[in-house]
Amino acid sequence: MTFEFNEQQKELIKEYRDLIFYGYQKISKIPLDLKKVRVRKEVLFYMMGAMQSYSESIIKLMGSNPVYEKPGESLLRSQLEIWLNIRFIYSSRSEDKARIFFSSLIMDSLTYAKKHRDLWNKYPKWHMEFGKIKKSSDWDKFISENLAILKKYQKKYKDKQVTKLPDLCARCLAIDKHLKKLGTFSEKNSAEKYYTLFYPYFSQSTHANMSGLLRYVRGTAAAPEPFFDIDSKPEDTEKILVISYHAYFATLHNFLKIFNAYDSTEYKHFKEYSDKLMKQRSISK
C-alpha cells in the first residue's frame, strides 16, 4: 500500500524518534549496582530496557513506508503491559510487589523444566537437548537448584509465602485500589480503564485465533470479497504511534526521576509535545 504521511504524522514520527534517541542516550549512562540497589529499582531497570527495545522496534515498523500496523499492535500490547507493571510495583511503599516478579521468574522456570522433563521421559528417543541440559536427569538437577534459590530468596526477605504473579487484570485492580486509598483515583489514571480499552484489542493480532486472523484481511464496497491487509494506512499508523509515544514518554519520565537522571530543562520539549498530542486527540474526538 503506497501512501504519504501528512504533516501531523510526519511530526509525530520525528518527535518520537527524537524522544527515543534522547531516552537511549540517558538510560545507557545509568549504572545498576546489584549489590546496593533495591529490588523494585532493579525490576524497573529491566522494564525500561524492554520498553526501549519495543519503542525502537515500533518506530522502525511504522516510521516509514510501508508500515506494518498489526506487528506494531503486538509490540504496543507489550508496552502497555510494561507501563502497567511499573505502576503495579509502585502501588505500594514496600518491595513486596516487585519481589513477586523475581519469585514468579523462578516458578515459571520450574514449571517449564518439569514439563520439559516429563516430555523427555515420555519420549526418551526424541532429540530434545536444551543448552547444557543433555539428558532427563539434568532437569532434576536444574529443578533442585532453582528450588534452593527460591527457598533462599524466601528466607532472605522473610516472605511467609511466595505468591505467583497475579494476572494483568488483577494487577490493574490493585493499582486502582491503591489510588483510591490515596484519594487520587480518577478516570484519567484508572489502570483498569486502560487495560479494558486497549490491552484486549491490541492482543488480537498477537494470537492466532479468529479475531486475530481477521485483523489481516478486509473488504470494501467495491471489493466485498476479503483480501489480505498486510501493511497499513496512515491513520492506523498514527493511532499506534500516539499511544506508544505516551507509554514510552511516561515510562522514561518515571525511570529518569527514580534514578536521579531527570532534567526538567531537557525534558521540557517532550512534555510540551506530549501535551500537544493530548489536545489534538481531544479535539479529534
pLDDT value of residue 206: 84
Range with the poorest average pLDDT among 25-29, 139-143, 193-197, 209-213: 209-213
Average pLDDT of the segment spanning 91-106: 88
The closest alpha carbon to 41, from 277, 281, 256, 285, belongs to: 256
Give me the sign of the Cα torsion angle 152, 158, 163, 164. negative
Yes or no: say if 31 and 217 are a contact pair by the CB < 8 Å rule. no
d(CA 7, CA 275): 18
> What share of the chain has pLDDT > 70, as a percent?
91
DSSP 199-212: HHHHHGGGS-SHHH
17: Cβ–Cβ under 8 A, 6 or more apart, which residues? 59, 63
Range with the poorest average pLDDT among 76-90, 95-109, 156-170: 156-170
> What share of the chain has pLDDT > 90, as a percent?
55
Residue 16 binned pLDDT confidence (cut-offs 50, 70, 90): very high
Average pLDDT of the segment spanning 227-243: 79
Q: What do you get for the CA distance between the two ends of the chain, in Å? A: 27
Summarised one tens digit per residue, pLDDT across range 101-136 is 888 888 899 999 999 999 999 998 898 888 889 888
Domain borders along the chain are 7-95+157-284, 96-156
The single-letter code of the amino acid at 276 is K
Radius of gyration of the chain (CA): 22
Yes or no: say if 51 and 82 are a contact pair by the CB < 8 Å rule. yes
